[in-house]
Amino acid sequence: MALDRSRPHQAASGPQTSRRGRGTTVVLLTVFALVAAACSRSSSGTTTSANGTPTTAGSTAAKATFGSMTQPVCGPKPAGQTNAATGHGVTADQIEVGTISDPGYSGAPGLNQELFDTSTVFTKWCNSLGGINGRLIKDDLLDAAIFNYNAKITTACAQDFALVGGGGVFDNTGQKTRLSCLLPDYPAYLVTSEARGADLTTQVTPGPNNSLNFGVARYLAKTYPDSVNNVGYLTGNVATTITNKNQYEEAGQKLGFGKAVYDAQYNSAGEPTWTPIAQAIKDAGVKGLYYIGEPADFAQLISALSSINYKLEWVAAAANQYDPKTLAGAGAALDVEPVYVGLGTTPFQSTDVAAVNQYEALFNQYLPNSTRKQAALGMNSFSAWLLFAQAVKSCGANVTPKCVYDAAHKVTTWDGGGLQAPSNPADGTVASSCMAIVKASSKGWSVVNWQPATNGFNCEKANVVALTGDYGTGVKLSDVGKSMSDLP
């Protein structure tokens, strides 16, 4: 039975700050393995434009266009256009949307706060320019605190036109509810197979269940050929991340790695000491290790390996390790254990990219006290907002779920104005072949010169591997008795 999306508005819950013990699931499910996390770089008010000219944060942020995009996505109502209420969540002067994240989870307070922060920055910037065709954005921040994802979807069904720029750890729990109320999603990231293949979803960084960009494995196999028959995998004891690890393991073997010599899980509630795991890695003769987890635990693992004097040829990890926590926690051990991370977003070190400078300038102007303004997952969120706003703008006065969804799915080439690697939002069945690689040291992150490269990304088709294993399927409209013809 479809949810009644005409019910009165419900208040979105804000971030909670209680600190209880860490749960047994969040640490690993925050991998968002196909997305990104953060790095450190100067957050002063002065940046450098694409041509090297110093520019103030204010002047950069004030631009109506973004990055390399030549047309503004936000602005006042065009002359001659008459806006009116066109359906659920849309009035003549406002469009109401929702953003889901998990900062209220007590086991990891502030989890993915960057999704809320980025959405706030985008909304303030867009509204300062006149909204989208004169309709101001009202963004409901929906804190799922990981366990309440379905409840927040129910809230969004009652009040919002769409979901934009968010993501939740347990996104599998709300897909049937979302599709029952015909609520489109333009997410920053997706986690589970049920969500990654779900209908009414438009991803700026497609992460399908049957293909995977594991270009970093190609790079490592070529750079460290002696390691390929001594590769190990480590993840937590959570079903979703074990499935994700299996995908990487299958892809790794197709890209030159041999059968794993080490395949283990750690306690996602937290290990009292990482030394036994480090010793097990050493005993297995691992030369290259792929890790899926969260930065604080990752840093402890790297430190433990260094403390027992075991030097791996390389350690690779999911993109959320591109975070200040990795640098702060591992410190000098990063000079012993070479750590590589593959990214689908533009590295913050790319100060010649106008979009990176403008993104940070907008944070400096609209949310200067945010601690997550250099989190690359925020870049994914901002890119999703840009695509959504562009699609809404193209619909003019006729802002309906179908018009906006169809407009977004006409976009076959997208890079968020330079925030991310080129992708094809119109086709969510194939992962983007483009990837950048960064390497960590005690001094910070550096971008690996991986040739051939275009705009900093290696886009060779061989980076993407077609997967043959059974990794689950997405929820479809037909599963809830709906079809695309029901979309208003």
Q: For residue 114, is it within any domain? A: yes
Burial of 82 (0-12, 13-18, 19+ CB in 10 A): exposed
Q: For residue 297, is it within any domain? A: yes
Distance, in Å, from the CA atom of 287 to the CA atom of 389, rounded to the nearest integer, reads 46
The answer, yes or no, to whether the previous bond of 452 is cis (omega within 30 of 0) is yes
Write out the residue range of the structural domain in which residue 311 sits: 211-347+432-466
Structure-block tokens of residue 300? 């402890």
Q: For residue 140, is it within any domain? A: yes
Q: Name the nearest CA neighbour of 261 among 282, 231, 291, 239.
A: 231
Sign of CA dihedral 56, 59, 60, 61: positive
Please report, for the domain that includes residue 477, its CATH number. Answer: 3.40.50.2300
The answer to whether residues 373 and 342 belong to one domain is: no
Question: Residue by residue, what is the 3-state secondary structure of 141-193?
Answer: EEECCCCCHHHHHHHHHHHCCCEECCCCCCHHHHHHHHHHCCCCEECCCCCCH
The answer to whether residues 393 and 461 belong to one domain is: no
The answer to whether residues 253 and 393 belong to one domain is: no
Q: Name the nearest CA neighbour of 386 among 364, 365, 402, 362.
A: 362
The answer to whether residues 215 and 187 belong to one domain is: no
Q: For residue 376, is it within any domain? A: yes
Structure-block tokens of residue 171? 């996104």
Q: Name the nearest CA neighbour of 469 among 212, 185, 99.
A: 212
3-class DSSP assignment, residue 423: strand
Bridge partners of 46, per DSSP, are: 56
Q: For residue 20, is it within any domain? A: no
Evaluate whether 90 touches 399 at the Cβ level (below 8 Å). yes
Q: For residue 18, is it within any domain? A: no
The answer to whether residues 450 and 413 belong to one domain is: no
CB atoms within 10 A of CB 327: 22
The answer to whether residues 203 and 61 belong to one domain is: yes
Evaluate whether 448 touches 219 at the Cβ level (below 8 Å). yes
Q: Which pTM does this prediction carry? A: 0.85
Type of residue numbered 112 = N
pLDDT score for 168: 95
The answer to whether residues 61 and 86 belong to one domain is: yes
The answer to whether residues 43 and 175 belong to one domain is: yes
The answer to whether residues 86 and 164 belong to one domain is: yes
Cα angle 438, 441, 447; round to 5: 25
pLDDT tens per residue across all 488 residues of the chain: 333 343 333 333 333 333 333 343 344 344 333 333 333 333 333 232 222 233 344 455 668 999 999 999 999 999 999 999 999 999 999 999 999 999 999 888 898 999 999 999 999 999 999 999 999 999 999 999 999 999 999 999 999 999 999 999 899 999 999 999 999 999 999 989 999 999 999 999 998 999 999 999 999 999 999 999 999 999 988 887 888 899 999 999 999 999 999 999 998 878 999 999 999 999 999 999 999 988 889 999 999 999 999 999 999 998 888 888 889 999 999 999 999 999 999 999 998 999 999 999 999 999 999 988 888 789 999 999 999 999 999 999 999 999 999 999 999 999 999 999 999 999 988 899 999 999 999 999 999 999 999 888 999 999 999 999 999 999 999 999 999 999 99
Evaluate whether 155 touches 165 at the Cβ level (below 8 Å). no
Distance, in Å, from the CA atom of 70 to the CA atom of 386, rounded to the nearest integer, reads 13
The answer to whether residues 299 and 319 belong to one domain is: yes
Q: For residue 19, is it within any domain? A: no
CB atoms within 10 A of CB 387: 23
Dihedral pair phi/psi, residue 480, rounded to 5°? -120, 20
Q: Name the nearest CA neighbour of 372 among 84, 110, 10, 140.
A: 110
The answer to whether residues 392 and 301 belong to one domain is: no
Spacing of C-alpha 245 from chain mean position: 18
Number of domains in the chain: 2
Q: For residue 3, is it within any domain? A: no
The answer to whether residues 77 and 170 belong to one domain is: yes
